[in-house]
Chains A and B, each alone.
Chain A
Amino acid sequence: MKDFIIPDDRDMGTPARTGAPVTLTIDGFEVTVPEGTSVMRAAAEAGISVPKLCATDSVEAFGSCRLCVVEIEGRRGTPSSCTTPVAPGMVVHTGSSKVRKIRRGVMELYISDHPLDCLTCSANGDCELQDMAGAVGLRDVRYTAPEGGALDNHFEARNTSGENHRYLPKDESNPYFTYDPSKCIVCSRCVRACEEVQGTFALTIEGRGFDSRVSAGNALDDFLSSDCVSCGACVQACPTATLQEKSVVELGTPERSVVTTCAYCGVGCSFKAEMQGDTLVRMVPWKNGKANRGHSCVKGRFAYGYAHHQDRILNPMIRENITDPWREVSWDEALSFAASRMRGLQETYGQKSIGVITSSRCTNEETYLVQKLARAVFMNNNTDTCARVCHSPTGYGLGQTFGTSAGTQDFDSVEHTDVVIVIGANPTDGHPVFASRLKKRLRAGAKLIVIDPRRIDLVKSAHVEAAHHLPLRPGTNVAVVTALAHTIVTEKLYDEEFIRTRCDWDEFQAYAEFVSDPRHSPEATEELTRVPAAELRAAARLFATGGNGAIYYGLGVTEHSQGSTTVMGIANLAMLTGNVGRPGVGVNPLRGQNNVQGSCDMGSFPHELPGYRHVKLPEVRKIFEDAWGVSIDPEPGLRIPNMLDAAVDGTFKGLYCQGEDILQSDPDTKHVAAGLAAMECVIVHDLFLNETANYAHVFLPGSTFLEKDGTFTNAERRINRVRKVMAPMNGYSDWEVTQLLANAMLKESGGANWTYTHPSQIMDEIAATTPSFAGVTYDLLDEKGSVQWPCNEDHPDGTPLMHVDGFMRGKGRFIVTEYVATDEKTGPRFPLLLTTGRVLSQYNVGAQTRRTANSIWHGEDVLEIHPHDAENRGLHEGDWVKLASRSGETALRAHITERVAPGVVYTTFHHPDTQANVVTTDFSDWATNCPEYKVTAVQVSASNGPSEWQEDYAAQAEQSRRILPAAE
């Protein structure tokens, strides 16, 4: 194993600053730091650690503990080094006898109100209070309680006579960490982390002086019932055992750590996996991680317990028919069973009768191998990925307008933005760490425009309020985006110089004429979109004139019949206003899963080889034909919905599905089930017997992100390393399983074996064949931490910002975006519009998060419905309701809320027993077949409980998951 040296991640005490250099002297050493830096941080830069308790570099200095006092020549008194900015020529003494004496006195006071149970304390070995007592040389505590009198402290437990009213018991309500008030030193680091880093403002200090206590929410709240989102920032900031991970309480302090990448959303946070042997003690966000800058959310920080959940399947299994119980077999038997079935299907039904689905939850290397399996072993292009059902319109739309399928910025860019449009995304739930960074910028004065049918948290929450919320009717994105462009063009607010130099001027003329038509005006479209015209015009003016304008969007844009058109409309808006090619601007798709970007980059789509190059191009095919020694089919293959259609038609018979659960995640469940049931060999490669596995003949156990090496590429094109911290419980990393399957199939046809022994070799092959990855190696990633593609000869360190001097395609292209109403229309039978999404605590189909304590926050999918619509139907909070569309029906509980507009209902798709997708339809984006999840005409009515379909489904699933006891 290659050693990876973790770069310096000392706590520097206060945050870094940028500015003109300032030189000062600290303890006789000259040090030069940026203007605005604290004396404490300057000392740390010089290698001198000033004792501190209330300061940490994730939050601004507070100056409350008085432990970091120093002497500065020519200044009176002993200022705290954390709150004192450096000045030129300043001469600082951090260790004079005067400050030593003060510090010892301060520590003595702290320790007089702290239990001395260090040896059995959960923070033993990881406690800054303990460290500081040592650092200041505390040897004695003179303050003791008066004899016979009541103890005035916070830590002696109450006795039977009710003494010590100050004692508060431990709050263990949060499933992942405890709050022990008896250990608290009231440094406020947790409160400030909650405010400054996370931006939730759930914590406060209640009371004054000796009565001061950390408090979550109101007086009657505990951590669980408060607004706390369990991001872990407070736990990380806490210097003592007051806020402590329960896993550390249980296991003890970790002995080593490995930097790796989160396996949840597309933010792609870097974490330190802190270990004892091969036991994971905790995941701690890594402060040098460039996507997250030391922050995390409840999923990445805490929800990793699924990796060792009892439901995990560790042995391969096969069965003749999907009605049979599973039979555990050896890897050899499972692979030769799978290989001969797949080969047999090709012999009987033709070369194109089988295919693969790659996973956005697997690494780049694994995804690359799965699409290679289709193209070079199956010898067809039937490969697709779950990006089909989320961001495929981004690929098409940005490809057409800018020339490449990726976000233009890095996440740091948000720190330079002045006006943000968030459209069809709910970052506080879907991309929480990015949301925290955005909220921080908003609190510093940037303006926000939210375009969303729901009143999402960003519209108004603690210290954040959108300047404009455009609550559009689901399905009218194109009309709204075009009306914004109409306003910008007709009011002459566009950036003519940018357009003339960077875009095709003739196409702009045609576009400007199109959008200027009065039928695109906010007034003309108001009736359709339900967005007040004046509000829309004000939003357009703000975006065009408010400085750096950035657009962040999510699946509320793409998952529509006109998903691709809206993406183009967004690109048009950015070009119109000159908001491309510098920090603080750009078009930023927020990717749903951790490796959506990577799985697209790796050639998972049936029409594209790695690097977004069409299979029809002979020069591109030649690169891979030479590398792989095969000839590649020049015709595009089937996309996921096409595979299912072809399966129902009887021409598609076999599927290798890695790390996806299409039965739960894809629309129109009944159609997906019919397609799967029609196949003769479905190979599911996953951690768990997921819903798709109900229809599988072969189950290959998968490995978690903790058990393999590889890379993930996040929404900012950042290639981050995934590092193996423990051996795969199932025996093989996923890339090894794909290789075994490929070799089993090649054995049948007499082809040459695949012989990768480490994922770095797969990355070398990717680099050799794909220009945008040409410079990427594992050595480079170890050296730099991460790089953003394109990374090649021209950009050896990667590319944080795209289209800086020109668009990838040359001139930026304006595309006419005509609004076309979806055919999914409301009517008397189905009068409401259903839109779907996710919540903070659960992730996608929930296979991972449902198997953690996260379910305490979201144990079931509920239907959000406006009070007006609920009243019309006689529904009350918590009632069972039937949700029906032309595709199917399901039942779930109602939650009555004004977050949704009248006429709109909303639910999540995290739980298979609800199966929201039994209701969604097979309508899809015109260009890419991305399903229209976000608009379904539905009816809601009172119900007694689960629908008949749900009961049948549950029975079938249970039947299908039977496993025969292993033979002796």
Chain B
Amino acid sequence: MSPEKMVHMANQIATFFKSQPGEDQAERVAGHLRDFWEPRMREQLKAHVAKGGDGLDDLVIEASERV
């Protein structure tokens, strides 16, 4: 998928979990990505992060390490 679309989708997930109470938002974002994103999509995300993660929410970048 286009990088813009992937970034948009990942940031939407981060936006939701950021609004939730608690301390473990990055883990919850990572958990959501593990549960619902097919490995190809997670690989694309990690590759994007490796290249600097342009446009990604910080929470997504933090979560991507645990995906």
Q: Please name the residue on chain A nearest to B44 by beta carbon.
A: A649
Q: Please name the residue on chain A nearest to B2 by beta carbon.
A: A645
Asked, given contacts A642-B1, A645-B1, A815-B20, whether A926 binds B13 with beta carbons under 8 Å apart, the answer is yes
Q: Please name the residue on chain B nearest to A646 by beta carbon.
A: B40
* Inter-chain contacts of A923 with B (CB < 8 A): 8
* Inter-chain contacts of A295 with B (CB < 8 A): none
How many angstroms from the CA of A646 to the CA of B43 in the assembled complex? 13
Q: Number of contacting residues on B, CB 8 A? A: 21
CB of B34, distance to nearest CB on chain A (Å): 8
Question: Is the pair B37, A636 in contact by a Cβ cutoff of 8 Å?
Answer: yes
* Inter-chain contacts of B21 with A (CB < 8 A): 510, 514, 816
The A interface is mostly helix, strand or loop, or mixed, namely loop
Which of B1, B2, B5, B34 gathers the greatest number of chain A CB atoms within 10 Å? Answer: B1
0/1 interface trace, chain A 758-778, chain B, CB 8 Å (1 if under): 000000000000000000000
Q: Please name the residue on chain A nearest to B15 by beta carbon.
A: A820
Question: Is the pair A607, B16 in contact by a Cβ cutoff of 8 Å?
Answer: no
How many angstroms from the CA of A651 to the CA of B39 in the assembled complex? 12
A922 within 8 A of B: yes
How many angstroms from the CA of A923 to the CA of B16 in the assembled complex? 16
Question: Is the pair B38, A642 in contact by a Cβ cutoff of 8 Å?
Answer: yes
Q: Please name the residue on chain A nearest to B20 by beta carbon.
A: A816
Question: Is the pair A606, B15 in contact by a Cβ cutoff of 8 Å?
Answer: no
How many angstroms from the CA of A646 to the CA of B44 in the assembled complex? 11
0/1 interface trace, chain A 367-403, chain B, CB 8 Å (1 if under): 0000000000000001000000000000000000000
A312 within 8 A of B: no
How many angstroms from the CA of A929 to the CA of B32 in the assembled complex? 12
Q: Please name the residue on chain B nearest to A648 by beta carbon.
A: B1
Asked, given contacts A642-B1, A815-B20, A922-B5, whether A606 binds B13 with beta carbons under 8 Å apart, the answer is no
A616 within 8 A of B: yes
Question: Is the pair A649, B1 in contact by a Cβ cutoff of 8 Å?
Answer: yes
0/1 interface trace, chain B 1-36, chain A, CB 8 Å (1 if under): 110010011001101100111000000000010111
* Inter-chain contacts of B5 with A (CB < 8 A): 645, 922
How many angstroms from the CA of A635 to the CA of B42 in the assembled complex? 11
Question: Is the pair A607, B20 in contact by a Cβ cutoff of 8 Å?
Answer: no
- Contact residue among A651, A816, A924 (Cβ-Cβ distance under 8 Å from B9): A924
B50 within 8 A of A: no
CB of A486, distance to nearest CB on chain B (Å): 15
Q: Which positions 866-917 of chain A face chain B at CB distance < 8 Å? A: none
Question: Is the pair B40, A565 in contact by a Cβ cutoff of 8 Å?
Answer: no
* Inter-chain contacts of B20 with A (CB < 8 A): 815-816
* Inter-chain contacts of A924 with B (CB < 8 A): 9
B41 within 8 A of A: yes
The B interface is mostly helix, strand or loop, or mixed, namely helix
Q: Please name the residue on chain B nearest to A507 by beta carbon.
A: B21
Question: Is the pair B38, A635 in contact by a Cβ cutoff of 8 Å?
Answer: yes
Q: Please name the residue on chain B nearest to A510 by beta carbon.
A: B21
Q: Number of contacting residues on A, CB 8 A? A: 33
* Inter-chain contacts of A510 with B (CB < 8 A): 21
- Contact residue among A649, A823, A927 (Cβ-Cβ distance under 8 Å from B36): A927
Asked, given contacts A561-B12, A816-B21, A818-B19, whether A636 binds B36 with beta carbons under 8 Å apart, the answer is yes
Q: Please name the residue on chain A nearest to B11 by beta carbon.
A: A926
A453 within 8 A of B: no
Question: Is the pair B9, A929 in contact by a Cβ cutoff of 8 Å?
Answer: yes
Which of B32, B35, B36 gathers the greatest number of chain A CB atoms within 10 Å? Answer: B36
Q: Please name the residue on chain B nearest to A649 by beta carbon.
A: B1
CB of A239, distance to nearest CB on chain B (Å): 57
A637 within 8 A of B: yes
* Inter-chain contacts of B9 with A (CB < 8 A): 924, 926, 929
Question: Is the pair B16, A565 in contact by a Cβ cutoff of 8 Å?
Answer: yes
* Inter-chain contacts of B36 with A (CB < 8 A): 607, 636, 639, 927-928
A213 within 8 A of B: no
- Contact residue among A514, A614, A815, A926 (Cβ-Cβ distance under 8 Å from B35): A614
Question: Is the pair A636, B19 in contact by a Cβ cutoff of 8 Å?
Answer: no
Q: Please name the residue on chain A nearest to B5 by beta carbon.
A: A922
Q: Please name the residue on chain A nearest to B22 by beta carbon.
A: A510
Q: Please name the residue on chain A nearest to B19 by beta carbon.
A: A818
A638 within 8 A of B: yes
A352 within 8 A of B: yes
How many angstroms from the CA of A922 to the CA of B4 in the assembled complex? 11
0/1 interface trace, chain A 646-673, chain B, CB 8 Å (1 if under): 1011010000000000000000000000
* Inter-chain contacts of A649 with B (CB < 8 A): 1
Question: Is the pair B40, A927 in contact by a Cβ cutoff of 8 Å?
Answer: no
How many angstroms from the CA of A371 to the CA of B15 in the assembled complex? 32
Q: Please name the residue on chain A nearest to B13 by beta carbon.
A: A926
* Inter-chain contacts of A648 with B (CB < 8 A): 1
Q: Which positions 349-366 of chain A face chain B at CB distance < 8 Å? A: 352
CB of A447, distance to nearest CB on chain B (Å): 32
- Contact residue among A635, A642, A926 (Cβ-Cβ distance under 8 Å from B15): A926
CB of A308, distance to nearest CB on chain B (Å): 41
* Inter-chain contacts of A823 with B (CB < 8 A): 8
0/1 interface trace, chain B 35-60, chain A, CB 8 Å (1 if under): 11111110000000000000000000
Q: Please name the residue on chain B nearest to A565 by beta carbon.
A: B16
Asked, given contacts A510-B21, A645-B5, A816-B21, whether A635 binds B16 with beta carbons under 8 Å apart, the answer is no
* Inter-chain contacts of B2 with A (CB < 8 A): 645
CB of A287, distance to nearest CB on chain B (Å): 44
* Inter-chain contacts of B1 with A (CB < 8 A): 642, 645-646, 648-649
- Contact residue among B12, B13, B41 (Cβ-Cβ distance under 8 Å from A642): B41
How many angstroms from the CA of A604 to the CA of B65 in the assembled complex? 30
Q: Please name the residue on chain A nearest to B42 by beta carbon.
A: A635
Asked, given contacts A816-B21, A823-B8, A924-B9, whether A637 binds B16 with beta carbons under 8 Å apart, the answer is no
How many angstroms from the CA of A439 to the CA of B23 in the assembled complex? 47
0/1 interface trace, chain A 239-257, chain B, CB 8 Å (1 if under): 0000000000000000000
Question: Is the pair A352, B40 in contact by a Cβ cutoff of 8 Å?
Answer: yes
How many angstroms from the CA of A616 to the CA of B39 in the assembled complex? 13
CB of B1, distance to nearest CB on chain A (Å): 4
CB of B15, distance to nearest CB on chain A (Å): 6
CB of B22, distance to nearest CB on chain A (Å): 9
CB of B59, distance to nearest CB on chain A (Å): 13
Asked, given contacts A645-B1, A823-B8, whether A926 binds B16 with beta carbons under 8 Å apart, the answer is yes
CB of A515, distance to nearest CB on chain B (Å): 12
- Contact residue among A637, A638, A651, A927 (Cβ-Cβ distance under 8 Å from B13): A927
Which of A565, A645, A648 gathers the greatest number of chain B CB atoms within 10 Å? Answer: A645
- Contact residue among B8, B15, B35, B41 (Cβ-Cβ distance under 8 Å from A607): B35
* Inter-chain contacts of B19 with A (CB < 8 A): 816, 818, 820
How many angstroms from the CA of A646 to the CA of B1 in the assembled complex? 6
Question: Is the pair B40, A926 in contact by a Cβ cutoff of 8 Å?
Answer: no
Question: 21 A-B residue contacts at CB 8 Å?
Answer: A382-B38, A510-B21, A561-B12, A606-B38, A607-B35, A635-B38, A635-B39, A636-B35, A636-B36, A638-B38, A638-B40, A645-B2, A646-B1, A648-B1, A651-B40, A816-B19, A818-B19, A820-B12, A820-B19, A923-B8, A928-B36
Show the binding face of B for A, using Cβ within 8 Å: 1-2, 5, 8-9, 12-13, 15-16, 19-21, 32, 34-41
Show the binding face of A for B, using Cβ within 8 Å: 352, 382, 510, 514, 561, 565, 606-607, 614, 616, 635-639, 642, 645-646, 648-649, 651, 815-816, 818, 820, 823, 922-924, 926-929
Given A639-B38, A927-B36, A929-B9, 19 new contacts (CB under 8 A): A352-B40, A510-B21, A561-B12, A565-B16, A606-B38, A607-B35, A616-B34, A635-B38, A638-B38, A645-B1, A645-B5, A651-B40, A815-B20, A816-B19, A818-B16, A820-B16, A823-B8, A924-B9, A927-B13
